[in-house]
Amino acid sequence: MSRNPQLEAIFEARYLWENAAGPERSERLCEYHRLLNEALAKAAIQAAAREELEDALVEAYREFRRAKRLEERAKLSRLR
């Protein structure tokens, strides 16, 4: 499913943050929040908060994460 490149970047940043470890985790969180803030600014939504945007994207992100995991499994099975 093709999405908006900005939305894809947000989902990728969230996925990387959720799967990061150690000091890299805080860097990934900052990047994720930066992308959310940019999306809100670009849409000129002044009253909305990052949390509201995240809530609106929950289902689409679940679909992204599911596809990402299937892709990773497919890569692993090809390596075997």
With a threshold of 0.85, does the pTM exceed it? no
The pLDDT of 62-73, averaged and rounded, is 93
Angstrom distance (rounded) from CA 9 to CA 2:
13
Encode pLDDT of 20-33 as tens digits.
999 999 999 999 99
Angstrom distance (rounded) from CA 17 to CA 34:
12
Q: Report how far Cα 3 is from the mean position of its chain's Cα atoms.
A: 12
DSSP, res 46: S
Encode pLDDT of 35-59 as tens digits.
999 988 888 766 668 888 889 899 9
Encode pLDDT of 53-67 as tens digits.
889 899 999 999 999
Cα 77 to Cα 31, 47, 71, 72, 74: the distances in Å are: 31, 46, 10, 9, 5
* Residue 39 CB coordination number (10 Å): 19
Structure tokens at 23: 């000091």
* Banded pLDDT at 2 (limits 50, 70, 90): low
